[in-house]
Amino acid sequence: MITTVQELNNRADLARKVLNQVRLRILVCAGTGCLANGSLEVYELLRDTVAALNENVEVVFDHEDSCQKTAIAVKHSGCHGFCEMGPLVRIEDPNSERHAGDGILYCKVRPEDVAEIVERTLQKGEVVDRLLYKHPVTGETYTYQGEIPFYAKQTRLSLANLGHIDPDDLGEYLAQDGYQAIAKALTDMTPADVINEMDASGLRGRGGAGFPTSRKWAAAAQESDPVKYVVCNGDEGDPGAFMDRSVMEGDPHRVIEGMMLAGYAIGASEGYIYVRAEYPLAVKRLRQAIKLAKDEGLLGNNIFGSSFSFEIHIKEGAGAFVCGEESALIASIEGERGMPRPKPPFPAQKGLWGKPTVINNVETLAAVPYIILRGADEFRKYGVPNSPGTKTFALTGEVANTGLIEVPMGLTLREVVYEIGGGVRGGREFKAVQIGGPSGGCLTKDHLDIPLDFDSLRSVGAMIGSGGLVVMHEGTCMVEVARYFMNFTQNESCGKCVTCREGTRRMLELEQKIVDGEGSLSDLELLEELAVVVQDGSLCGLGKTAPNPILTTMKYFRDEYLAHVEDHRCPAHVCQAMKSYFIIAEKCKGCSRCARVCPANAISGKVKEPYVIDQETCLRCGACVAACKFQAIEEVA
Q: What is the pLDDT of residues 370-429, one digit of tens each?
A: 999 999 999 999 999 999 999 999 999 999 899 999 999 999 999 999 999 999 988 899
| Sign of torsion over alpha carbons 343, 344, 350, 356 | positive
Architecture in CATH of 15-151 = 3-Layer(aba) Sandwich (3.40)
Q: What fold, for 383-476?
A: Ubiquitin-like (UB roll) (3.10.20)
Q: Where do you find CATH 3.30.70.20 in the chain?
A: 579-636
Of the pLDDT bands very low, low, confident and very high (cuts 50, 70, 90), residue 280 is: very high
Q: Where in the chain is the domain with CATH 3.40.50.11540?
A: 178-379
DSSP-derived secondary structure for 468-519: EEEEEETT--HHHHHHHHHHHHHHH----SHHHHHHHHHHHHHHHHHHTT--
Fold of 579-636: Alpha-Beta Plaits (3.30.70)
pLDDT band at 59 (very low <50, low <70, confident <90, very high): low
Q: Which fold has domain 178-379?
A: Rossmann fold (3.40.50)
Separation between Cα atoms, residue 158 and residue 168, nearest integer Å: 18
pLDDT bracket for residue 615 (50, 70, 90): confident
| Residue 64 scores a pLDDT above 70 | no
First-to-final CA distance of the chain: 70
- Which comes out higher in pLDDT, residue 58 or 282? 282
Domain range 479-566, CATH class: mainly alpha
Label residues 466-480 b or e (16+ Cβ within 10 Å = b). Answer: bbbbbbbbeebbbbb
Among residues 49, 43, 47, the alpha carbon closest in space to that of 29 is found at 43
In the chain, which residues fall in CATH 3.40.30.10? 15-151
Task: Note the pTM of the prediction, 2 decimals.
Answer: 0.90
Determine what percent of the chain is predicted with pLDDT higher than 90.
74
Residue % of the chain over a pLDDT of 70: 97
For residue 226, with 0-12 CB atoms within 10 Å meaning exposed, 13-18 middle and 19 or more buried, which class applies? exposed
- Region 12-36: mean pLDDT is 89
Helix axes 521-537, 548-556, angle to 10 degrees: 140
